[in-house]
Amino acid sequence: MYINFWYPIARSEEVSADKPLRVQLLGLPFVTFRDEDGKAHVLSDTCVHRGGSLSAGWVRGGRAVCPYHGWEFGGDGKCRHVPSLVGAKIPARAKVDSYPVQEKYGIVFAFLGDLPEEERPPLYNIEEYGDPGWKAQLYVINLNAYYERSMENGLDPIHNQFVHPKQGAPMLEPERQREPVPMEDIPWGSKFYMKYPIKLDQNTDLKDVKSGERIGAAGSWHQGPNQLVTWIDISKENAFHQYLFEAPVDDCSTRIFFINMRNWLLDDQYDERVEQATLEIVHEDVAILERLNPVRTPETNTKEILVPGDTAVVRYREYLKDWDARGWRIDFKALKERAGDVAFAIPSPGRREHGNWVLDPVPLKPGNPEMVGSATRGRQREAGAA
């Protein structure tokens, strides 16, 4: 799990100006609420007075109020009122981490890290979102599996033949399966897109409403460690574009915010039918992912036998190694060992502007500056050689 990326916090409709909402993410507690202008905020959910949970309190005047002693924290994380210090100066250390927020696609996202704005990896932009020719549905899926395993599953073109009979069990010809998946690098990630010789969605619940000349192509790509895209283009008139924003709850569970977009069956009357068919396919994946052993991705590829069909998975892991080198990976074992004795927080951008913080920054694995960018440079050399 990594700091310095955008993570989905909650559905927009869950975040209110009346009651704070507690969210567990990256093994740590966060609180989200709205101020009087309706703007969403995300803070570390630990009052720096005596460790109270802000999410167990209430929102008053656009501030999160600690239920233990009534300390009030604004959206910027600074304590604005201490009932027991009326008329006295509030200590400068009375502050909690506040994170940059974007609200898009019916989701509240937070940038959980301390990078300045110009250096932050982006939140994925869904270009067709809001286009009248496309319909979007948002599902939230709780998965008892590690998010990296889920991401790799989405980047695996071979598993569909075996795992997804409800999708028509699309397969690649044996000759293609023996070759590396054709990959290209994109900003903060990598991508593949290719045609399937066997018809996509040939025997699904939606087969009777398809139209248009068949394309039969599909592909997946990732941006950052937790943003996944899958396009299933049956024809120009029948396409599903799926966007998954994954929230690692901890090292063995994940909450997935799944935006399913389609350019057909646009009337609301079809929503339930499409949702049912989509979630049946999703749960075919869930049945596999929740039984993987080991639960977490092996630290070295030698602990699995990887084949050419795993090219996209290997490429994803190379990007993870690059973010490891930047020192962005959370040391989750150290976090768990000290949990209960220390209150941790993901460092926010505010920590670069001023010091004197109460909550300890989450432990990170040491980086290797000399290796930063090595995965991308290696890929560029391969392309040049070809």
pLDDT at 164: 82
Model confidence, pTM: 0.93
CA 335, 340, 345: angle at the middle one, nearest 5? 50
pLDDT at 207: 54
pLDDT at 378: 56
Architecture (CATH level 2) of domain 135-315: Alpha-Beta Complex (3.90)
pLDDT in tens, the chain (386 residues): 999 999 999 999 999 999 999 999 999 999 999 999 999 999 999 999 999 999 999 999 999 999 999 999 999 999 999 999 998 999 999 999 999 999 999 999 999 999 999 999 999 999 999 999 999 999 999 999 999 999 999 999 988 888 887 776 676 777 777 888 899 999 999 999 988 765 544 545 555 555 556 677 899 999 999 999 999 998 888 999 999 999 999 999 999 999 999 999 999 999 999 999 999 999 999 999 999 999 999 999 999 999 999 999 999 999 999 999 999 999 999 999 999 999 999 999 999 999 999 999 999 999 999 889 876 655 544 444 43
CA separation for the pair 125, 106 (Å, rounded): 13
pLDDT at 205: 53
pLDDT at 209: 55
CA separation for the pair 283, 164 (Å, rounded): 10
**Superfamily covering domain 5-119:** Rieske [2Fe-2S] iron-sulphur domain (2.102.10.10)
pLDDT at 165: 78
- Other CB atoms within 10 A of residue 283 CB: 12
Contact 199, 214 (CB under 8 A): yes
Domain ranges (residues) in the chain: 5-119, 135-315
Instruction: Please name the residues in contact with 294: beta carbons below 8 A apart, sequence gap of 6 or more.
Output: none
Q: Could you give the strand order of the β-sheet that contains 135-143, starting from the edge strand earlier in sequence?
A: 135-143, 254-262, 239-248, 227-235, 214-223, 189-195, 184-186
What are the φ/ψ torsions at residue 47 (nearest 5 degrees)? Answer: -70, 135
CA separation for the pair 386, 376 (Å, rounded): 16
pLDDT at 206: 52
Place of tokens 């991705």: 297
**Structure tokens given for 188:** 């903060």
- Other CB atoms within 10 A of residue 281 CB: 18
- CA distances 107 to 14, 20, 35, 259, 284, Å, are 9, 16, 17, 10, 25
154: closest CA among 217, 233, 215, 244? 244
Contact 43, 30 (CB under 8 A): yes
pLDDT at 172: 72
Report the largest interatomic distance among the alpha carbons of the chain, rounded to a whole angstrom: 77
Contact 252, 332 (CB under 8 A): no
pLDDT at 319: 97
Contact 58, 66 (CB under 8 A): no
Instruction: Please name the residues in contact with 162: beta carbons below 8 A apart, sequence gap of 6 or more.
Output: 169
